[in-house]
Structure 1
Amino acid sequence: MLRVVNAAGQSMFRHVLSGLVNNQKNGASLLRVSACYPQMQRHMSAQHNFPRHPVPPLTQTLAKFVRSVQPLLSPSELSTTKSLVKDFEEGDGQKLQQILENRARNMESWLADWWLNAAYLAYRLPVVVHSNPALVFPRRHFQTEEEFLKYAADLTYAALNYKSDIDNDKIPIDKMGKQPLDMTQYKRIYGTCRIPAPECDKMHFTDPSRPVHHIVVARNNNFFKFCVYDSNGEIISPAKLLVGLKTVLNASEKPGEAVGILTSEHRDTWARVHSDLVKDARNRRSVEAIQTSLFLLCLDGPTSNIRAPNIATMDALKMIHGGGSKENSGNRWFDKTIEIVVGEEGEVGITVEHSPAEAVPIAMLMNYCLDFLEKMPKSKRGEDTAAFPKPEKLQFNISSDIKNAIEVAQQNLDKLVEYTDFLCCTYSGYGKNLIKEFKVSPDSYIQMALQLAYYRLHNEPAAHYESAGTRLFHLGRTEAIRSCSVESVHFAKTMLDSKSSNEDKKQALVAAVKSHKDYATQAALGQGVDRHLLGLKLAAIENGMQLHPLYRDPSIVRSTHFKITSSQVAGKGNSVMCYGPVVPDGYAACYNPLPNTLNFGLAAFKSGRGTDVKAFHDALMASFDDMEKVMAIGHQTRAKL
């Protein structure tokens, strides 16, 4: 059973609601390319019996919005916001609501194509750190190069088997309670790649009528096309995969030109360089082989310059950005939906380009692979000497202009690596089992700990995004849970007030948790605030209407400046997902609640604006300690209590 809150936390929502698409020109550009998403839908398996994404009542959304922004506004600002909301509701809002409802009646999803473009493809900052999340597997311990390559071969074999199960509809249908969830995203993760283009990128999706038979293996900045199916369409054996990976290793002793690092650039820069790169026929063939591959397998070498406070963070940095230009960042193609990374030092994970899917299919891929490897028959690991096509090294002709672009990309990525702080950590005091004994939602409880940590550190509330999956609906993606609420702020203030009694603190915590859980449930049912406001705005742009002043009001600007971006991504064992903040003065917090511990991937920018990932970690750990003491009153659950 999946939780209501189950999707990855990367949201580019602020830039489409109050930031980068504030003018008609950019908005019109975004809308012109929206047809790419419906075209892709025709290549997906048929979906049955899922309702269309609803358009919430306008009055309901605006009332929720006003209440959600109350903690972030002064009394005079709130009064102005209420006046603007009333004017919007009685005027433009009614017209836009009708347009949106008509769109919903005539499309499979009124939101899906808008969301793909607005949240991802039109986002121009580098996908590295800013958009791509990374899933970190439990660390391995390779004693020899042979063990390293065997594990990579077996993991590749497992990932290919997962694709077969998806293609043949053998994977269990995800459910929320007893309700089935739309599985479209699972069909999008293999063979998919983001393609840079000016203003708004494009997506390559595999055509089922032309199945793809190859992956691409990256080693020492070199790329190899590796056919992983035999003439009968069967996956080649792990032994053959191992032989192929040995071939790659032997052919990669000399570093290649770091073409892959271009994918870490600003999207408009990369679009321009990409256009020049593929003018050469050899380059175009190599790039297309990468873009059309089922996935990338990145075989990373040892590192020497990455500094991290612990092994888990070290592994996360390798997954998020590769460590920089002097490490393994050139051994990537960050536009690929799936990049499986296996490093000689034991780091294993998946780097994800976020456009086509949320975290759930990727987390399920990880869980499947780990289970598959545990149960893999020994006979599958035996010798297999039958002939098969050897991996083909992809060749590039690097002009002086492209070489200069690579050097600039290396410098820019190194600055981004230096600018970003990540910290993977575990709260070991307790886990979701104890939280359940408190009779509260573990996810809502963790969300309130994040709220308390921020208030403890900065003495003010933070606009706080948590993603809720909306896969109860056809082509559903996410809705924003606004975790900062009147109740969460009252809870934080009460917890930090030395004059408050323990009973007052407990009541405030329980009320805050309930408020969050209620909003999370509404968001999963398509009754949140943010996607509706986005739809109304894009409807205005599409119809040439002037945007209402509400969209420039501090209520929207401040409440979508998400100083905490968060999500729950449950994974098997000691794993965690991580990603970067979405604003310069914000934090990212992804978590995996385990029975007796809580794993976190935290991040902040060294922006000079007061964020400090280590201080946030300390505040978060203290918050969990304090919350347990409050909830344990009259509740004897453990021997130490």
Structure 2
Amino acid sequence: MNSNHEPSPRTFGNEDGLPRVPLPSLEASCERLLDWCAPLLDEAQLAETRAALEEFQRPGGPGRALQAELERYDASEGVHSWLDTFWPYRYLGRRDRIALNANFFFLFKDDPALSGSASPQVERAAGLIAAALDYKLRLDEERIPPATQRGRPLSMVQNTFLFSTTRIPGVVQDTVRVPYSEEWPGPSRARHIVVFFRGNMFRVDVLGPGGRPHTLDELAAALRTVLEAERRPEAPVGHLTTMARAEWAEAREALLDHDPGNAASLDEVETALFCVCLEDLAPRDDLDACDELLYGGSGNRWFDKAVSLIVFADGTAGINVEHCGLDGTTILSFVDALLGEPAEAQSARSGAEAQGVPAVRPIVFALDEKLRKVVRDAGEAFAAYGAATATETVSFDDFGGDRAKRLRISPDAFVQLAYQLAHKRSKGFTGATYESIATRHFKHGRTEAMRVVTPEALRFVEVLDDPAAGEEARRAAFRAAAEAHVRRAKDCQAGDAPEQHLWELQLIQQRRGEELGVAGPLPLFETPGWQVMRHDYLSTSSAPSVNIRYFGFGSTSEDCIGVAYVLLPDRFNVYLSTPAKVAGAMHLFAGKLREAVAELQDLLASETETEAGVSR
């Protein structure tokens, strides 16, 4: 897109004109790292970190060689961003299980059209399939309007990962099987999805031979065929996708070696447009639905699939997403499209036509006793892992973005400082806090890592709990911390943040240090500043959409609370997760969060009421 021209209406029409992600200077990132970690360190720790940073960036030092290599890479032909290699290493290089640890979910709003339906599950699932097919066909023709932010187009590259994308486990690093690639040019031409029910897997051909979708009635008929499956497989192979990645890679090779038919079955799963997981349970409440979406029914999932639509017996629905190529903002836009219009309208727009009931064929795997044991053990281990996870929902009907704006404060700053206050009051200290900041206004932009704890945030929590501090001092500390939060968020949006930059320098050293003459390990990455700043006690991310009730993911460490929140104009919903052994701290945090949100509203409301009185 040229700045002198209107943005292109084509889905990918603006990519070449987007600005590149700026590569920070080594000096700037080292200075920012020191600033960012300082509030969490004592004087000795800060001095140790400062000395390591000075050594890292000295003339002729290791940082200079690594930065020069990153600059060379950033200027190379075909490279879209200096982060092009970082993202695969970050996501595909992790070796633990991705189920619960990396995948995230959205719980959809209810569909009022299902009220009184005799078969809400079938109707909801058929409608979601029809809407997804309409989106897919429009995406193929680049008729999905580019997302914008304040009138500026955003990168839409992540949309190429929505359909027929599957993560493939590897011993050292995973790979991705994906369309729009050299191995698979252009959009996916697959015509099928995979439908799960009670651990059974079925190929369902949702697009006819001519590429047109089946009608809603025909899709519903196919789903009823799936629901008639009586047999529960002794060893549902979906359990394997819950394993640590190297273990899953070994099991996948064993599947392929055991029987040639298993390769065809894997191919059907991996090339499918997406998965639909039908559950034969109705959630007890929102928390139960969220937990099921995050880590339930592992034999009834393929956690490596980019998109899995999950529909419960009562029509409650949501989505589980594999994170390597997709961030929350892209999935939000996708979900808004699925739920923003009646399914009938989307089916009609897609050109759906009656073609008879879609072909439904079981997908089976040949297993010997050894493989059956691997599958069963994986299922049992993941069930135990899920049971060792504690979760809670916190809902506010009296607070939302509009309320924050009436109080003249940034909504995100308000809730982030409420988290800090609640954490200090529940655990007795302030810990490192991560917030994801979207950067899709850059070419191939994804997210930046923001660290929430600033000196102003530290002072805020101290003043709020100082019995000698008056109301005016408390408000001043709150507003100063909110302003500092907004400034740092803007820096991150501009690409002025240290963590991912320095992390990529570390990864370059690990990959090519010997070749570049940079021996490792590097002392900087063992310092208190680097270690403490990145040890999350709160890992937070926001998903604002009227079409979802909750958003969620797992915690990132043994003492971390995952904080996924939906902040809308009129409400604020939070899903919390943490290891069960520290569940007490999470439940206390939830209670303190409720108190903090009320207290901070009252603090700012009294100011505006006073000002209103003065003006009168």
Could you tell me whether the CA contact under 8 Å between 1:222 and 1:252 is conserved in 2? no
Q: What residue in structure 1 maps to residue 310 of structure 2? A: 341
Match of 2:50 among 82, 86, 91: 82
Secondary structure at the counterpart of residue 515 of structure 1: helix
| Other-structure match for 2:373 | 404
- Check whether the contact 1:338–1:353 (CA below 8 A) recurs between aligned residues: yes
Distance in 1 between residues matched to 2:347 and 2:153, nearest whole Å:
36
**Post-superposition offset of 1:46:** 8.2
Q: Tell me the distance in 2 between the aligned counterparts of 1:146 and 1:237.
A: 17
Contact 1:435/1:442 (<8 A) preserved: yes
AA at the equivalent of 2:471: N
Q: State the Cα deviation string for residues 231-284 of structure 1 (Å, max 9, x = none).
A: 221111111111111111123454463110111111111111111012222211
Equivalent position SS for 2:18: coil
**Corresponding residue number in structure 1 for 2:119:** 146
- Partners of 2:117 and 2:561 lie apart in 1 by 38
User: Within 1, Cα distance between the matches of 2:220 and 2:231?
Assistant: 17
* Cα separation, partners in 2 of 1:120 and 1:473, compared to 1, 3 Å: same
Q: Which amino acid aligns with 1:203?
A: V
Q: TM-score, normalised by structure 2?
A: 0.90
Equivalent residue letter for 2:450: I
Alignment of 1:396-475 (within 5 A): 396-475=365-444
Shift in Å at residue 109 of structure 1? 3.3
Partners of 1:574 and 1:204 lie apart in 2 by: 29
* Aligned pairs (5 A) from 1:33-48: 47-48=15-16
Q: Which of 227, 252, 256 lines up with 1:274 in the alignment? A: 252
Do residues 63 (structure 1) and 41 (structure 2) align? Answer: no
Q: Counterpart of 1:372 in 2: which secondary structure?
A: coil
Q: Is the 8 A contact 1:155 1:373 kept in 2?
A: no
Tell me the distance in 1 between the aligned counterparts of 2:274 and 2:610: 46
Following superposition, the deviation at residue 48 of structure 1 comes to 1.7
Q: Counterpart of 1:283 in structure 2: which amino acid?
A: N
- Paired with 2:42 and 2:346, the residues of 1 have a C-alpha distance of 64
Kept in 1, the 8 Å contact 2:241–2:302? The answer is yes
Could you tell me which of 559, 571, 588 is aligned with 2:533? 559
Any idea what the Cα deviations from partners look like across 1:212-237, whole Å, max 9, x if unmatched? 11111111111111111122211111
Confirm or deny: 8 A CA contact 1:319 1:349 kept in the other structure: yes
Answer yes or no: is 1:620 the counterpart of 2:598: no
Aligned residue runs from structure 1 range 140-289, under 5 A? 146-206=119-179, 207=184, 208=186, 211-255=189-233, 257-279=235-257, 280-289=259-268
Distance 1:611 1:55, change over 3 A: farther
* Aligned counterpart in structure 2 of residue 491 of structure 1, from 460, 480, 483: 460
Judging changes above 3 Å, is the alpha-carbon distance between structure 1 residues 226 and 46 closer, same or farther for their aligned structure 2 residues?
Answer: farther
Which sits farther off after the overlay, 366-375 or 630-639?
Answer: 630-639
Q: Sequence identity, in percent?
A: 26
Do the aligned residues in 2 keep the contact of 1:142 with 1:148 (CA within 8 Å)?
no
Bigger shift: 51-60 or 291-300?
51-60
Displacement of 1:45 in angstroms is: 8.1
The Cα of 1:473 is off from its aligned counterpart by 1.7
2:340 and 2:211 map into 1 onto residues whose CA distance is 24
TM-score (norm 1): 0.87
Task: Call closer, same or farther: CA 1:631–1:251 in 2, change over 3 Å.
Answer: same
Kindly indicate whether the alpha-carbon contact (under 8 Å) linking 2:81 and 2:444 is maintained by their aligned counterparts in 1: no
> What is the DSSP-based 3-state SS (H/G/I as helix, E as strand, rest coil) of the residue aligned with 1:607?
helix
Q: Is the 8 A contact 1:104 1:110 kept in 2?
A: yes
Any conservation in 2 of the 1:430–1:597 contact (CA below 8 Å)? yes
Structure 1 position 605, deviation (Å): 0.9
Aligned positions of 1:541-620 closer than 5 A: 541=510, 542-544=512-514, 545-547=518-520, 548-573=522-547, 575-608=549-582, 612-620=585-593
- Which residue in the other structure is 2:3 paired with? none
For the Cα contact (< 8 Å) 2:36–2:453, is it kept in 1?
yes
Cα deviation 1:567-619 (Å, max 9, x = unaligned): 111122452210011011000111111222201111111234x7632211111
Cα gap change, 1:145 to 1:216, in 2 (>3 Å) = farther
Matches within 5 A, 1:91-170: 91-106=61-76, 107-139=78-110, 146-170=119-143
Call closer, same or farther: CA 1:358–1:378 in 2, change over 3 Å: closer
Please tell me the root mean square deviation across aligned C-alpha atoms, in Å: 2.4
AA in 1 matched with 2:202: F
Q: Which amino acid aligns with 2:150?
A: G
1:368-412 deviation per Cα after TM superposition (whole angstroms, max 9, x unaligned) = 11112277389899x986435421111211111111101211221
- Paired residues, number: 584
Where does residue 290 of structure 2 map in the other structure? Answer: 316
Change beyond 3 A, Cα 1:612–1:100: same
Q: Note if contact 1:167-1:187 (Cα within 8 Å) is conserved in structure 2.
A: no
Which residue matches 1:12? none
SS in 2 for 1:302: coil
Deviation at residue 144 of structure 1 after TM alignment: 5.7
In structure 1, the residue corresponding to 2:299 is in which secondary structure? coil
Q: Is the 8 A contact 1:45 1:187 kept in 2?
A: no
Work out the CA distance in 2 between the residues paired with 1:233 and 1:430. 47
Q: 1-side partners of 2:334 and 2:348: how far apart?
A: 23
Secondary structure of 2:415 counterpart? helix
> 1:448-494, CA deviations, whole angstroms, 9 ceiling, x for partnerless residues?
11111111111211111111112122111111011111111111111
Contact persistence 1:215–1:296 (CA under 8 A): yes
Alpha-carbon contact 1:239-1:384 (below 8 Å) kept: no
Q: 1:292 aligns with which of 261, 271, 279?
A: 271
Partner of 1:22: none
* Structure-1 residue corresponding to 2:477: 508
Deviation at 1:85, TM superposition (A): 1.3
CA contact (8 A) 1:71 1:461 kept: no
Which secondary structure state, in structure 1, belongs to the residue aligned with residue 48 of structure 2?
Answer: helix
For 2:355 and 2:598, locate their aligned partners in 1 and report how far apart those are by CA, in whole Å. Answer: 59
* Bigger Cα displacement from structure 2, 399-408 vs 136-145: 136-145
* Aligned 8 A contact 2:218 2:358 in 1: no
User: 1: distance between equivalents of 2:513 and 2:607?
Assistant: 59
Specify the code of the residue in structure 2 equivalent to 1:494: V
Aligned residue identity for 1:94: R
Which letter does structure 2 place at the counterpart of 1:99?
A: E
